[in-house]
A = this chain, B = another copy of it.
Amino acid sequence: MTTPGRGLHGHVLETLGPAITAGEYPPGSVLRTDELAQRFDVSRSVMREAVRVLESMHLVESRRRVGVTVRPRSEWNVYDPQVIRWRLAGADRPQQLRSLTVLRSAIEPVAARLAAKHATADQCAELTECALGMVAHSKGHQLEGYLLHDVAFHRVILNASGNEMFARLGDVVAEVLAGRTHHDVMFEDPDPAAVTLHVQVAEAVRAGDAARAEHLTKEITEGALQELDILAP
């Protein structure tokens, strides 16, 4: 899942990026390219390329005679998958999971509604397959198998919505679901009600019942919100 930092420039990013997003360098902090190059034992060229990437993520700003200044969090490109990964690996992982779960609660119901209208026969078949897979792994501590089908299910929904912006959130949803399974809430079998809801969503999409697909998905995401003690919208 993690990108193994191709090349020296990638290695530098995999160290500097998490450090910055973790708040190790507070907003306004000034870094110097030469010093960083020395610290990481790379050439200035490599460090400059790394800084350029951080700049394109709006994590830092590079100005002459000043150096590389860290920008405030409010300006970061928080939708950049790499930034999301770094933040999920760092100190504000809980905060990040909350933000993303709220995002899910807004996106997925609408995506399900659109999926009910646009899904192909193949996608419908895949959807029911995933739902059945979830049922099959819902008892007896088969969390990994369950997660696999759960992630696949939500990916299909997002893709079937026909909206590219929704489709690109597949990785985010996967990360949130994986995070929940591996670190946080789930120690036992998943909630049977949630499993049922997924099956019903698959049915609704297959039947082309947009309103029902949206409503059921909303119930799923509200469940996710409650798990994190977020007031249900």
Contact = CB atoms under 8 A, between A and B. Distances in A.
A197 to B, nearest CB: 19
A74 B114 contact: no
Contact of A56 (B53, B76, B231): B53
A113 B222 CA distance: 14
Summarize A's interface: helix, strand, loop or mixed.
helix
**How many of these chains are in the complex?**
2
A1 B117 CA distance: 36
Interface in A65-88: 73-74, 76-82
A141 interface: no
Given A77-B80, A233-B214, A103 B163 contact: yes
Nearest to A55: B53
Interface of A: 9, 45, 48-49, 52-53, 55-57, 73-74, 76-82, 99-100, 102-103, 105-107, 109-111, 113-114, 117, 163-168, 210, 214, 231, 233
B82 A79 contact: no
A233 B110 contact: yes
Contact of A165 (B49, B73, B79, B210): B79
Nearest to A75: B168
Nearest to A111: B106
A79 B233 contact: no
Given A77-B81, A77-B168, 8 more contacts: A9-B52, A52-B52, A52-B53, A74-B164, A100-B165, A102-B166, A103-B165, A106-B166
A77 B114 CA distance: 22
A46 to B, nearest CB: 10
Nearest to A231: B117
Q: Closest 4 interchain pairs by CB? A: A79-B79, A106-B110, A53-B56, A49-B52
A204 to B, nearest CB: 14
A165 B113 contact: no
